Amino acid sequence: MTNPLIQDWDTPFELAPFDKISDDDFEPALEEALTTHRMEIDAIASCDVAPTFANTIEALEEAGSQLDRVLGVFFTVAGADSNPAREDLQRKFSPQLAAHFSDISSNKALFARVAEVWEKRDSFDLTDEQARVLMLTHRGFVRSGAALEGVDDTRMKEIKGRLAVLGTQFTQNLLADERSWFMKLEEADLEGLPDFVIDAARSAGEEKEAGGPVITLSRSLIVPFLQFSPRRDLREAAFMAWQARGANEGETDNRAIAAETLALREERAKLLGYKNFAAFKLETEMAKTPDAVRQLLTDVWEPAKAQAEADAAVLTNMMHSDGVNGDLAPWDWRYYSEKRRRAEHDLDEAALKPYFQLDRMIDAAFSCATRLFSLEFAPLDVPLYHPDCRAWEVTRGGKHVAVFIGDYFARGSKRSGAWCSAMRAQARFPEPQTPIVINVCNFAKGSPALLSYDDARTLFHEFGHALHQMLSDVTYESVSGTSVARDFVELPSQLYEHWLEVPEVLSEFATHAKTGEAMPKEMLDKVLGAANFDMGFSTVEYVASALVDLEFHDSEASADPMAKQADVLAALGMPAAITMRHATPQFAHVFSGDGYSSGYYSYMWSEVMDADAFEAFEEAGGAFDPERAKALETHILSTGGSQDAAALYTAFRGRLPGVEALLKGRGLTAA
């Protein structure tokens, strides 16, 4: 029987036939796809015709399509619906793939052809996009070590292979810790919890077959538990387990993995002639240098810390008034902050949450995309990789644009967090292809499913990434959609969050789950008025993580990352009642792969732009100003990485932004 992963897909929009694919298909499909890709690469490298853009750069763009398709399916299910077989395959595939791509980047004959095209680039009649693709291709080979010789070349291959293994192991250890821990609750332990938390705990207990409600380490469950449980002992137990992910000794401990990863990254950077890994990594980003990143984070840290310390004093007094003596602890902050929010803004999360139904928030995200970009969304009945998933066809003016898949609910087989990925990216070469885009979130199940305001922001955030993929309009896949600088990629996603805060959007879509009535204007005003509530806390926990990440990579690799983390936080004067958003053993952004290493700051770098970009709408005709929407699509969403990020933003806004709009947006005053 032919392997469904490598035969033509006679399915709607050439979606993967998930109902025909089994775990046994992945390994043979990967082997065949790797063999095919090697043959394609060998043909390019051994071509006896003088190198040209077409026979070298475009040939590289075309090569590997079968491999991309196999990996697109595999990594989708491995991240969002893992099982022991898929985890075994991930561990096996990661060094194979690292070796495969390392062989390509160190192929001397291939690099010689790329280098010759680069040297003779002025003699070719290249479009701007072709010139950009050539530059990125050549730079990618050089930064991968293509120019290295002898023992350095061999060592670079070894480092890449080992880093791939470590990244996979880090991710799987974290998932194992998150999946294995839960805390059973007796009926008396549910006292004081709102119905939506109780329902989520009961649902989690059913999934765990625990015989009753449980608290798991899913953010969508543990955070509201920390907000609402009056039981300080239970809050402490849950928080300590949450903080201990990846640091529980034994096989799933990530601390040694982090240390080895940092050492290998430093060695890799030095082989390429860089002072350290941060200098290497940031060279291709908008920030360019570690000092530029440090300056941004420091500018935000000081006012955020001052606000957080003032807030801590208020929360401590509230705790003492409850008869709890001593210092405010990290497991106390969310509980007393929620009480303070109810007191100061008359906002009760339990009363607010029924207005944020998952289905209505999906409708809201779609509606904004319709008003801004004339996109239409129609449900699709197609086989997907999990029953929780649903799909829509995206059209504009009756023309097919994309397929969008939403996978919204937390489950034990899904890694934590939220992300957007493309099983197929937009391109026009070698033939037109439309994107297949997936948003993955970890919301608590319910009937109906209710979101927190932060959950709703996450939904809009990930859909902003999806729009970047869906509206892409470039020729070459390597610069399509979100294939941009890491500190630029979060601009479309964070910018889209602003539309959730537009009063007319909430007025239409924030409707009560039981009564169907729109959110009362008084409550709506309170929601918007409290948008910056506790911003000192959220900014401090984020910036602390970003600074630790930067210092890990902008100095000599530490043999003890936990000690290094402690030193950085001590130097910052980290408030005692706030912890890093992602402590080192669970910092998947940084240690599951190179993606956000030295780059966790990028969310804030992008926020500087998104705050300024939304101001452009407000300065024009409002949130749905058609001219600004057109400019956003033309200069940012449709262009992918086909132009320099700073040039794209300048084309949209007329200038680059300063940090002022960000501080204003977060309600912080410059120190």
| For the chain, percent of residues with pLDDT exceeding 90 | 93
Q: Confidence band (pLDDT; 50, 70, 90) for 671?
A: very low
DSSP string, 152-190: HHHHHHHHHHHHHHHHHHHHHHHHHHHHH-EEE--GGGG
N- to C-terminal Cα separation, the chain:
68
State residue 308's pLDDT score. Answer: 97
Task: Please state the rounded mean pLDDT for residues 183-206.
Answer: 94
Quote the distance between the C-alpha of residue 267 and its chain's center: 27
**Matching residue, tokens 């890491």:** 486
Q: Confidence band (pLDDT; 50, 70, 90) for 661?
A: confident
Tens digit of each residue's pLDDT (9 = 90 or more) over 222-245: 999 999 999 999 999 999 999 999
φ/ψ of residue 515, rounded to 5: -95, -20
CA separation, residue 563 to residues 306, 510, 595 (Å): 25, 46, 24
* 3-class DSSP state of 378: strand
Judge contact between 628 and 616, C-beta under 8 A: yes
φ/ψ of residue 245, rounded to 5: -55, 130
DSSP string, 44-74: HHT--SPP-IIIIIIHHHHTTHHHHHHHHHH
Tens digit of each residue's pLDDT (9 = 90 or more) over 442-487: 998 888 999 999 999 999 999 999 999 999 999 999 999 999 999 9
Tokens of 574: 């980290």
What is the Cα–Cα distance from 58 to 255, expressed in whole angstroms?
A: 42
Q: What is the pTM of this model?
A: 0.92
Judge contact between 496 and 439, C-beta under 8 A: no
Tens digit of each residue's pLDDT (9 = 90 or more) over 553-597: 999 999 999 999 999 999 999 999 999 999 999 999 999 999 899
Q: Which residues contact 328 (CB under 8 A, 6 or more apart)?
A: 312, 315, 316, 319, 336, 576, 577
Tens digit of each residue's pLDDT (9 = 90 or more) over 326-378: 999 999 999 999 999 999 988 888 889 999 999 999 999 999 999 999 999 99
Number of Cβ within a 10 Å radius of residue 585: 27
What is the Cα–Cα distance from 369 to 72, expressed in whole angstroms?
A: 26
State residue 508's pLDDT score. Answer: 97
Task: Show which residues are catalytic.
Answer: 462
**H-state helical runs in 407-531:** 453-470, 486-497, 503-509, 521-529
State residue 414's pLDDT score. Answer: 92
Tens digit of each residue's pLDDT (9 = 90 or more) over 77-132: 999 999 999 999 999 999 999 999 999 999 999 999 999 999 999 999 999 999 99
DSSP string, 267-321: HHHHHTT-SSHHHHHHTTSSS-SHHHHHHHHHHHHHHHHHHHHHHHHHHHHHHHH
Beta 419-424 vs 436-443: how paired, if at all? antiparallel
436 pLDDT above the threshold of 60: yes
**Matching residue, tokens 């034994």:** 250
Q: Which domains does the chain have, with CATH numbers?
A: 12-105+107-147 (1.20.1050.40), 181-245 (no CATH), 251-347+535-600 (1.10.1370.10), 354-529+603-665 (1.10.1370.40)
State residue 1's pLDDT score. Answer: 64
| For the chain, percent of residues with pLDDT exceeding 70 | 99
10 pLDDT above the threshold of 60: yes
**Omega of the bond prior to 448 within 30 degrees of 0, cis?**
yes
DSSP string, 129-160: HHHHHHHHHHHHHHHHTTT--HHHHHHHHHHH
State residue 447's pLDDT score. Answer: 83
138 pLDDT above the threshold of 80: yes
664 pLDDT above the threshold of 70: yes
Task: Please state the rounded mean pLDDT for residues 258-278.
Answer: 98
